[in-house]
């Protein structure tokens, strides 16, 4: 598997209509929106997204529906929201998409179908679709199932409550 930056910028619908199929590996550095949602990689560390995209023309005799099947895997590092330590998260995407004529058709059919609908647009590239799906695969609140390390103690925890002196004054009055 090799990385092709050129393929990431192709418009998806014309590529799919030509019967496109690809299995490749892309560096996290080429997925800037995903990289921004993750902790920076340590020096010498690389994160590679393995993905496969397959186009398919279903019902060629009648409806001629153009479909895409995207599968992707990527291991990222995020901060656990319980213990605030880094944690590895394995992202996996396995989605089917169907192209429709326009955005209005997509909105009208969206509630009645299991697959995701795509309308043709020049800004719809493999990179934008791949990044969108990886971002959606990320947990809303990353956290370990169990955190063994307690949260670090704050240095100001030993300070008295700022209104404790006022409470003492209030109790002394009749």
What pLDDT does residue 3 have?
Answer: 44
Residue predicted with more confidence, 122 or 97 = 97
Residues 6+ apart with CB under 8 A from 119: 99, 100, 101, 102, 103, 105, 106
Strand-strand pairing, 86-99 and 116-118: parallel
| Mean pLDDT rounded to a whole number for the chain | 81
Element (H, E) at 99: strand 86-99
pLDDT at 106 exceeding the cut of 70? yes
SS3 71: strand
Arithmetic mean of pLDDT, 60-84: 85
pLDDT at 166 exceeding the cut of 70? yes
For the chain, the domains span 5-172
Q: In sequence order, what are the beta bridge partners of 51?
A: 24, 72
User: How far does Cα 31 stand from its chain's mean position?
Assistant: 10
pLDDT at 98 exceeding the cut of 60? yes
Strand-strand pairing, 86-99 and 65-79: antiparallel
Arithmetic mean of pLDDT, 5-12: 66
CB atoms within 10 A of CB 134: 24
């Amino acid at each position: 598997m090799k990385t092709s930056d050129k393929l990431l910028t192709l418009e998806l619908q014309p590529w799919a209509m030509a019967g496109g199929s690809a299995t490749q590996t892309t560096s996290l550095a080429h997925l800037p929106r995903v990289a921004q949602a993750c902790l920076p990689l340590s020096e010498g560390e690389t994160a590679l997204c393995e993905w496969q995209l397959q186009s398919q023309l279903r019902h060629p005799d009648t409806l001629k529906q153009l479909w895409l099947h995207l599968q992707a895997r990527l291991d990222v590092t995020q901060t656990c929201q319980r213990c605030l330590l880094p944690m590895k998260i394995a992202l996996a995407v396995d989605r089917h998409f169907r192209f429709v004529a326009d955005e209005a058709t997509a909105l009208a059919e969206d509630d009645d179908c299991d697959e995701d609908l795509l309308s043709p647009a020049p800004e719809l590239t493999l990179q934008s679709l791949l990044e969108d799906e990886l971002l959606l695969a990320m947990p809303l609140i990353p956290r370990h199932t169990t955190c063994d390390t307690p949260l670090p103690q704050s240095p100001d925890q030993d300070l008295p409550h700022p209104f404790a002196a006022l409470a003492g004054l209030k109790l002394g009055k009749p």
